[in-house]
Structure 1
Amino acid sequence: MEQRRKLEFGPRVRELACRLVGWGSETGTPGEAEFGAKLAGLLREMPYFRTHPDQVRLVDSHGDPMTQSVIALVRGQGARALALAGHYDVVSIDNYRELAPLAFKPDELLAALIADLESRPLNTTEQRALEDLRSGEFLPGRGLLDMKSGIAAGIAVLEAFAAQPDRLGNLILIATPDEERGSRGMRSLRDALPTFANEFGLDIQAGINLDATSDQGDGEEGRAIYRGTIGKALPFALVIGHSSHASYPFEGVSAQLIASEITRAVEANPELCDTAGGEISPPPICLEAKDLRGGYEVTTPERVWLGFNWLSHHWAATDLLGLFEQVVRTAAAEAIETFNRRARTYGTMLGTKQTAAAPDVAVISAAELRDRVQYVGGTEAITRLNEVGRKWRNADDPLAQTRAVVSAMVTEAGLIGPAVVYGLSSLVYPSTHFSRLSGHPEFAAAIEAARLTQEERGHPAIKYREFFTGISDMSFFGHRPLDTDRALIAGNTPARELIDDVRTDALSFPVVNIGPWGREFHQRLERVHAPYAFEDLPRFLRQIVSRFLG
């Protein structure tokens, strides 16, 4: 009996995972655009979908050629539904270097990587990888860990559910593109889901995201149920000073000093960490700091740009923006005080009075600046501003995109320093948590019962963790932000393409993340722990489905 359970899913999930990996789908490539139709074709090979082909749907997402999400529904009795979701795009294979032709061929890549690692001296990380690959418990391949093994597990569970007579409830499998750049696949799917649910009379009450996690140990941390996911915002500060000749520094106001003080106040500051559920988010860090001059001059720069990555567990982006504004205001005031004090000291050294003290720094939100553009330049200025936005619409760099728009706003508004404009320079990924939604006790009970069953049958323990630490589609799957947050975020995101335009009827339901684990995803030695991904994970998911829907 135990042997039968061990072989319940493994060979089938491995076969599916390798087949999915074989369809290369790097983000932004034709392979990504072709993947949706291929997956739909695979699903229609299942006996259930041969007789219900209309229950496999393709949903347009974005791009040219168009990328598509896949929705597959297996129906049972009643309206209650559970959704399983994963992304199928993968990062570039460039870091495989000479082995790039094998990146989508797991078994061939396994042999090639072992041969490569055995042929030369290794660092500690490579030695660990060699031991893993020799063990037979890990399988490499681009996207096998992140996250086609998760989708394969979902397909196998969907097949098992479809084979069950007298099914109760409904099971949905969702596969989306573009998680790696802007979650455009999940966001467009989210907008299509209410219509799909209404068409089939479904009440989607819960979801499971199937994304992968990393574990450098024995899997204890990787075998996990994540109750929530971390949030991400990229607040920016464009500092505007007064230029001065290098020989007369106090005739201007140093944008560099103001920017430096802001960076010092924010960079890796533990006081700016968010805490929730007993876990602490990483502190914010500066991703970009640069002056905006086009070349060499013997003058101080007028404008300096800062972009920060800020992760959160509980705070909304509106909370972060308010806190960022306070920090910027305090830091700018301290910078001016320092600058004026140094001017006085320098004047004393020379025995002459320096120029007038630098004035206070105006701290202005992006929303306020746009209003100023409208006031100063009217509709013609807004038209010019929108044209700048259109030029940068397809940019892959949100910081550069935002920087271009904000710089144009400052020019159109005629804003003179010292001043700091602040706002948001990327798509906001909201933090989510199971506990923030009411009406989920049955889902929680089903997960816990399935978890205990796994342990009672001698399978590896699965633990609860509060927040999935990677940026993921979980921020948009089953999550509908507050209208007040949406308005403030939209007003302070200068690049309009980076605003998440959520439908008012978007569905809201509790979501957890339960996926495969492995090591070094996105890297050359990306590898999945095969026994868990191919057997334990789908078995656990099947238990949850049975208990929640049954």
Structure 2
Amino acid sequence: MLSCYEDILSLTKELVRTESIVNTEGEQVLAEQLYNMIKAWPYFRHHPEQVICAPTVHDTSKRSNVLACVRGTKTESPRTVILMGHFDTVGIDDFGSLKNKAFQPDKLMQALRNETLPPIVKEQLESGEWLFGRGVLDMKSGVASNLYLLRYYAEHPEELAGNLVLIAECDEEDSSHGILSALRNLKEWREKYGFEYIAAINSDFVSSRSEGDETRYVYKGTVGKLLPSFFITGAETHVGACFEGLDPNFIASELTRQIAYNPELCDEAHGEIPAPPVSLKQMDLKPSYTVQTALAAYVYYNFLIYSWSPKDVLKKLKEQAKIAFDNALRLFAERYKAYCKRSGEPYKEIPWTSRVYTYEEMNDMLKNEWGDKYIHHMTAYKEQLLSDTSLDSRMYAARVVEEAWKWMKDKSPAIIVFYSSLYSPRVELTDKTENERNLSAALARAIEYVQPYYPYPIRIRHFFPFISDMSFVALSDDEESIRYEAANNPAFGQKYTVDYKAIRELNVPVINVGPYGYDAHKKYERAEMKFSFEIVPNITNYIIRYLLN
């Protein structure tokens, strides 16, 4: 076992002291500090070309990743293991009056002793076994573990029969510009040094799965995340004659009732099931108050996947949208009839039927109907829309769909299903390749090795349950699934881009071995120090030695 506890504790506090909140200058400040730290080590003074501070690409913010590699001398080999972790954090508004101490763990913990705390937080604070502070858990202690191992092998390259690459990436908390940009650097090093990337080990945080769960988890592969979105049109009317029109908010509400928290929409693989979809936004697109019902509504949902593809999800949600639309029209008719019975007004058969299209279906329909006139207009509109920096990818996509809808000749109520945000692909370790089998075996052996040194059970699961940069070093989706995602996302290639070809070329099996704690992204963010500063680096080190022996 490596005696690394004190070193990683010190490195973690050093990293936490720099405020590297995502989308702020602090990201670049910390990148430069990391670069200067690593290049000052003796190994890198002799090999300065093997550490770089690489700016992100296709990014509106100035920020960089730090990459470094140690080339082993035990036996010359192309086999290369990647250690990865992000150094950006979320903000600190939740700290309230303690904001000025959020990045100073010792001062923060002293201040917390004077506060009224939840019982478990108070118990862990007083135990002396937990470290508090923004980024301590998510995930600077993981980066510190990777830095320690990089430094160890920089001092002992003769123990490596292969190579070790570290990526400390920015912007994981927002749009993954960091890891997506680092793909280019990994490709350059592969060509320059002949690296064969055989495994990647991410060091993002892990937590209990339920109250009272004392198991510490490591993960093979990761959950995927989609943002299925719905543009819903109705038939406008004055509110005093509400049954003469169809409120799109009414349809949207039924759609959310049909989709949100629906366990039938939970994927399953290896006996594991992710959380069901849930609404992240529901709104209409009226610019201001009027007594006319809205012309259109917009909703989107978080959707987690283990085995389904973007194509599968869009097909399923098109079916769900049809069910919701039919339910909404049925309920509308029932209430209209009940109203007419009470008021004495004559009942008229409602003129609408449910219509649901994917964005690609609508777009192809309009191209066929209007030809170049439509294509040129939408190209110019999308370019013009990019100048509105207030629009994120989700609202940008909604506005594109809304503009395309104006070209529809039949404007009776409809639902358009599309994607509106970056797709974080699922990654599944199937053990079908030699590299996957070796990594799985190394992880299992590593757990067996460290378990006697730790009082709580350590268990392997298949899918890391949170969104992470693991999604961008391997692809489990085939080409058609990826094409389907891009073709149904109006923001793809405009507000963001993903080089799926580069991911597929890298396609390295990836696991997560990270610090354990509670309340990431919250005021009481904290990491359990023994697991995070001792067990995690020793699991990772065992895997490195197993694979590069």
TM-score by length of structure 1 reads: 0.91
Change (3 A) 1:492 1:436: farther
| Unaligned ranges ≥5, structure 2 | none
Which residue does the alignment assign to 1:433?
A: 428
How big is each residue's C-alpha offset from its partner over 1:529-550, in whole Å with a ceiling of 9 and x where there is no partner? 1111111211221111111111
- Residue 22 (str. 1) matches residue 21 (str. 2): no
**Distance (whole Å) between structure 1 residues aligned to residue 240 and residue 390 of structure 2:** 43
- Residue 71 (str. 1) matches residue 67 (str. 2): yes
**Distance (whole Å) between structure 1 residues aligned to residue 344 and residue 444 of structure 2:** 77
**Distance (whole Å) between structure 2 residues aligned to residue 340 and residue 284 of structure 1:** 29
1:406 maps to amino acid: V
1:147-296 equivalences under 5 Å are 147-164=139-156, 165-215=158-208, 220-221=214-215, 223-296=216-289
**Distance (whole Å) between structure 2 residues aligned to residue 137 and residue 499 of structure 1:** 43
1:337-376 equivalences under 5 Å are 337-344=330-337, 346-347=339-340, 353-374=346-367, 375-376=369-370
How big is each residue's C-alpha offset from its partner over 1:318-377, in whole Å with a ceiling of 9 and x where there is no partner? 211110001111221232233344445555666664344322122121123333454434
Secondary structure, in 3 states, of the residue corresponding to 1:229? coil
1:403 is aligned, of 391, 395, 398, to 398
Task: Tell which deviates more after alignment, 205-214 or 353-362.
Answer: 353-362
Contact 1:83 1:207 in 2 (8 A): yes
Change (3 A) 1:85 1:166: closer
**Distance (whole Å) between structure 1 residues aligned to residue 464 and residue 454 of structure 2:** 26
1:129 is aligned, of 121, 143, 155, to 121
Which residue does the alignment assign to 1:307?
A: 300
- Residue 45 (str. 1) matches residue 40 (str. 2): yes
Contact 1:253 1:358 in 2 (8 A): no
**Distance (whole Å) between structure 2 residues aligned to residue 258 and residue 237 of structure 1:** 11
**Distance (whole Å) between structure 2 residues aligned to residue 48 and residue 446 of structure 1:** 27
Contact 2:431 2:437 in 1 (8 A): no
| Unaligned ranges ≥5, structure 1 | none
1:13 maps to amino acid: I
Task: Tell which deviates more after alignment, 272-281 or 400-409.
Answer: 400-409
Task: Tell which deviates more after alignment, 29-38 or 454-463.
Answer: 454-463
**Distance (whole Å) between structure 1 residues aligned to residue 482 and residue 307 of structure 2:** 16
**Distance (whole Å) between structure 1 residues aligned to residue 197 and residue 466 of structure 2:** 25
How big is each residue's C-alpha offset from its partner over 1:80-136, in whole Å with a ceiling of 9 and x where there is no partner? 01111000100112222222222222222221222x32xxx44xxx33212211111
Give the RMSD, CA atoms, in angstroms.
Answer: 2.3
1:477 maps to amino acid: V
- Residue 140 (str. 1) matches residue 132 (str. 2): yes
Contact 2:427 2:474 in 1 (8 A): no
Which residue does the alignment assign to 1:506?
A: 505
Secondary structure, in 3 states, of the residue corresponding to 1:539? helix
2:322 is aligned, of 326, 329, 344, to 329
**Distance (whole Å) between structure 1 residues aligned to residue 410 and residue 198 of structure 2:** 50
1:381 is aligned, of 370, 377, 384, to 377
**Distance (whole Å) between structure 2 residues aligned to residue 444 and residue 95 of structure 1:** 39
**Distance (whole Å) between structure 1 residues aligned to residue 229 and residue 211 of structure 2:** 37
Q: CA deviation at 1:284?
A: 1.0
Secondary structure, in 3 states, of the residue corresponding to 1:371? helix
Count of residues in Structure 1 that have an aligned counterpart in Structure 2: 536
How big is each residue's C-alpha offset from its partner over 1:221-278, in whole Å with a ceiling of 9 and x where there is no partner? 3x32201211111111111111122333332233233222222211211111111111
Which residue does the alignment assign to 1:535?
A: 534
Secondary structure, in 3 states, of the residue corresponding to 1:89? coil
2:29 maps to amino acid: E
Which residue does the alignment assign to 2:490?
A: 494
**Distance (whole Å) between structure 2 residues aligned to residue 219 and residue 153 of structure 1:** 24
Secondary structure, in 3 states, of the residue corresponding to 1:295? coil
Which residue does the alignment assign to 2:446?
A: 450
